[in-house]
């Protein structure tokens, strides 16, 4: 009886793992307590890493992996909204619970989000890991688009969700997503980053490694914009000086980004 009362009084954990960003916290709070990139990094040069104090682990997650991206091979366990690497994802969940939030998952019910059209076997695997590895007392898997609509105070509407790995249009009626009408396209933020990477390569700037791709993502977020009339913008770039913007790389070198800012 005491255990049941303790379970009922425990705050529910909300775990939202997107293709690019993970957001985690407690239900009822205004904002997540933990936000970090959904990535894991493995040392490329283990012999070098073992000589560096504090950096002797097998893998690094989130912001720490981003800070060490030059010497790590970065892996993204979530591709186009769907978990592809379960071993890495389990490590990220372990980091979320025990390192970032510093809680015992066996003491909290968990709300786990999923992308629209998430395959049933994936949902079953999520539940298996949560119950058998982390011993959560209760689990609910909810669609991200439905939760977004709830957050706006509505139960019926159409959600357009453009993330890092996939874009969805999800019609929802009285809290239920109409699965037959969901539209999905595997084109999102990361694809724009890849295209900008190609444009910069054509200009003579080579960004090839996973760490360098994160630099391109930063260029995209800081310098790129949507041109209402791309053709007019292209003509202006040829006539007007100062359309280019400079970006300083981690090594101190500066590159100039011009029409690529809106072509991507």
Q: Give the pTM.
A: 0.81
| Per-residue pLDDT tens over the stretch 50-62 | 555 556 688 999 9
| Per-residue pLDDT tens over the stretch 218-261 | 999 999 998 888 888 888 877 777 778 899 988 888 998 888 88
**Least confident stretch, 73-87, 124-138, 154-168, 235-249:** 235-249
Which pLDDT band holds residue 14 (cuts at 50, 70, 90)?
very high
Q: Which residues pair with 159 in a beta bridge?
A: 170
Which pLDDT band holds residue 144 (cuts at 50, 70, 90)?
very high
Q: Give the domain CATH number at 24.
A: 3.30.420.40
Expressed as residue numbers, the domain containing 247 is 189-263
In a domain, 175, yes or no: no
Is the domain of 85 the same as that of 28? yes
Is the domain of 229 the same as that of 110? no
Is the domain of 17 the same as that of 101? yes
- Distance, CA of 80 to CA of 146 (rounded, Å): 18
Is the domain of 34 the same as that of 131? yes
Half-sphere exposure of 185 (CA within 13 A, CB side): 9
| Per-residue pLDDT tens over the stretch 187-213 | 899 999 999 999 999 988 888 887 788
Q: Which of 55, 59, 135 lies closest to 92 in space, CA to CA?
A: 59
Is the domain of 22 the same as that of 91? yes
Helix, strand, coil % over all residues of the chain, rounded to 5: 40, 25, 35
Is the domain of 106 the same as that of 197? no
First to last CA, the chain: 59
Which of 98, 128, 152 is at the close of a domain? 152
In a domain, 51, yes or no: no
Residue appearing with tokens 């700037």: 205
Q: Give the domain CATH number at 214.
A: 3.90.640.10
Task: Give mean pLDDT, residues 65-90.
Answer: 90
């Amino acid at each position: 009886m005491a255990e049941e009362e303790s379970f009922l009084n425990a705050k529910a954990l909300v775990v939202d793992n997107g293709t690019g960003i993970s957001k985690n916290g407690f239900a009822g709070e205004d904002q997540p307590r933990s936000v970090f990139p959904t990535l894991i990094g493995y040392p490329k040069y283990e012999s070098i890493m073992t000589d560096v104090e504090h950096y002797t682990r097998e893998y690094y997650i989130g912001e720490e992996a981003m800070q060490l991206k030059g010497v790590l091979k970065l892996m993204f366990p979530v591709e186009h909204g769907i978990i592809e690497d379960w071993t890495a994802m389990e490590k990220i969940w372990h980091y979320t619970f025990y390192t970032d939030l510093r809680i015992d998952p066996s003491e909290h019910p968990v709300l786990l989000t999923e992308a629209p059209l998430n395959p049933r076997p994936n949902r079953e695997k999520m539940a298996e890991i949560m119950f058998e590895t982390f011993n959560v007392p209760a689990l609910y898997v909810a669609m991200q688009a439905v939760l977004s609509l709830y957050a706006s105070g509505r139960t019926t509407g159409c959600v357009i969700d453009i993330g890092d790995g996939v874009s969805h249009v999800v019609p929802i009626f009285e809290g239920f997503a109409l699965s037959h009408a969901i539209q999905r396209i595997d084109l999102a933020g990361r694809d724009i980053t890849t295209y900008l990477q190609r444009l910069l390569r054509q200009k003579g700037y080579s960004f090839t490694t996973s760490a360098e791709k994160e630099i391109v993502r930063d260029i995209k977020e800081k310098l790129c914009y949507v041109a209402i009339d791309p053709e007019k913008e292209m003509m202006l770039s040829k006539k007007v000086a100062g359309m280019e913007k400079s970006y300083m790389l981690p090594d101190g070198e500066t590159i100039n980004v011009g029409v690529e800012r809106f072509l991507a």
